């Protein structure tokens, strides 16, 4: 019998990026148009959330993606799933390129 999403082992993949405040709106649109569809195109991606917070010096973005397991993350990110995945367009916006992401196992949910 197939497990429901609530019963499946899941991993949250979190990435952080920072852009200038002037580029915040354009980067948000890039994420909606390019990055979110890319995540969603991978079998085993459960959902995508983009968080945004503007500060005095920059706008921060956190991408939180939920995946069925580590193997499907590798299908998205490559054999080293902790390595951050970047798009060519990121060169136009990001103030730095953090080399890694953070993974969390989902141990409870409502």
> Per-residue confidence of the chain (110 residues) as pLDDT tens digits?
555 544 557 999 999 999 999 999 999 999 999 999 999 999 999 999 999 999 999 999 999 999 999 999 999 999 999 999 999 999 999 999 999 999 999 988 87
List the domain boundaries for the chain.
Answer: 5-105
Which pTM value belongs to this model? 0.88
Cα(35)–Cα(28) distance, integer angstroms: 10
Query: Strand pairing partners for 16?
Result: 62
Name 89's Cβ contacts closer than 8 Å, sequence gap at least 6. Answer: 30, 34
Cβ-contact 75, 59 below 8 angstroms: no
CATH topology assigned to domain 5-105: Alpha-Beta Plaits (3.30.70)
């Amino acid at each position: 019998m197939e497990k429901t999403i609530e019963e499946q082992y899941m991993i949250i993949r979190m990435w952080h990026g920072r852009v200038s405040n002037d580029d915040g709106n354009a980067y948000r649109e890039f994420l909606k148009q390019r990055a979110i569809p890319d995540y969603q195109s991978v079998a085993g991606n459960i959902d995508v959330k983009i968080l945004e917070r503007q500060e005095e010096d920059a706008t921060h973005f956190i991408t939180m993606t939920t995946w069925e397991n580590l193997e499907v993350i590798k299908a998205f990110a490559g054999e080293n799933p902790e390595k951050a995945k970047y798009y060519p367009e990121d060169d136009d916006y990001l103030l730095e390129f953090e080399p890694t992401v953070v993974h969390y196992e989902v141990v409870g949910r409502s």
